[in-house]
Amino acid sequence: MSKLEWSDSYSVGVPRLDAQHKVLIRIINQLEEERRTGGLIVAVFAELRRYVKEHFRDEEVMLEAAGYADLEEHKVGHRQFEEWLTSIEMVYNSGGASAYYIAESVHEFLKDWLITHILAKDMAYKETLTATVAR
């Protein structure tokens, strides 16, 4: 599979958030590489945890400050992502599925998240944020 590449059309207009979204693309590519080579995905989980903690917090703080109308609904999507991450980590830690299968399903989930969340739900706040936050 070809590597995912950042495109300017993915920009939500806030450099800090764009930089964090680029990190996710890097993690997705890293997972694909580890799935192919049978590498360790445990490091990817740690990175994902760190990523969501910082990124969701930053996004929510900015949306709150901007008075974004759909913030509560947006937060629900973030909480669902965190729940998914906790459950897939539990499956991984319990040895209930092969590392290959886990890497594949995490990879699929993140690609889907990129399309359904970042390119749709995050894009929906672009106008509100760029009008009110100059960061």
Binding positions for Fe ion, rule: CB under 5 A: 59, 122
The minimum distance between CB 59 and Fe ion, in angstroms, equals 5
| CB of 34 or CB of 122, closer to Fe ion | 122
Dihedral sign from CA coordinates of 99, 105, 109, 110: positive
At 57, is the secondary structure helix, strand, or coil? helix
The minimum distance between CB 132 and Fe ion, in angstroms, equals 17
The minimum distance between CB 121 and Fe ion, in angstroms, equals 6
| CB of 35 or CB of 117, closer to Fe ion | 117
| CB of 47 or CB of 104, closer to Fe ion | 47
The span from the CA of 84 to the CA of 92, in Å, is 12
The angle that helices 71-93 and 99-113 make with each other, rounded to 10 degrees, is: 170
Amino acid occupying residue 63: L
The residue of the chain with the least Cβ separation from Fe ion equals 122
